[in-house]
Amino acid sequence: MHTPGDGDCMTPRVVERWYRFMETGDAALLDDLLDEEVTFYSPAVFTPQTGRAKAAAYLIAAEKMFANTTFRYTGAWYREQSAILEFSADLDGIQIEGVDMIRWSDDETIVTFKVMVRPLRALHTTIRKMGGLLELPGAPIPCVPTDLAADRPASTPATAPGRRVSRHPCS
């Protein structure tokens, strides 16, 4: 996996440890990397996920989803206790672009992890793949909109006659 700044002494230790997890898939690395009260913001879930176990479940699923794909970090921006990591990947023939927005504490543990994905078709693909991975025994059940219409033609409005609009199950 390509990481911006490979060998660059300017890469924060927290980010180096994150890259190591993404390169190896070693879930044990998250125990020391994630704060006990970390908050994870998914691009597909309205409600933030709080706590190391929940955040780790999502991050492990994401690493598995991107393993053996063209996933790579393409850019990185750092502040004193935060980073924005830009990534791209091809997943099932869909080009995905996104960013990981990470904040950490003085103890160098991640306290917030926010993921943004584009374009919309890439988000739909991500939701489908992550949903399957998060339904594994012991993992939290993914909370995705029940009326997500990935296969609906763009010309079909969500409120077409006879179509009930359901609320997001997490709201």
Q: What is the CATH number of the domain that holds 81?
A: 3.10.450.50
Domain total of the chain: 1
Q: Is residue 158 part of a domain?
A: no
In whole numbers, what is the pLDDT of the chain averaged over residues? 80
End-to-end CA distance of the chain: 36
Q: Is residue 143 part of a domain?
A: no
Please give the structure tokens belonging to residue 58: 């999502």
Q: Say what the pLDDT of residue 135 is.
A: 73
Q: Is residue 152 part of a domain?
A: no
Q: Is residue 2 part of a domain?
A: no
CA distances from 18 to 39, 136, 142 (A): 16, 23, 23
**Parent domain of 42:** 13-134
Q: Is residue 98 part of a domain?
A: yes
Q: Is residue 166 part of a domain?
A: no
Q: pLDDT tens-digit profile of 115-149?
A: 999 999 999 988 888 888 887 444 444 444 433 33
Whole-prediction pTM value?
0.74
Q: Is residue 41 part of a domain?
A: yes
Q: Say what the pLDDT of residue 1 is.
A: 47
Q: Is residue 147 part of a domain?
A: no
pLDDT winner (highest mean) among 7-21, 66-80, 137-151: 66-80
What is the SS3 assignment for 67?
A: coil
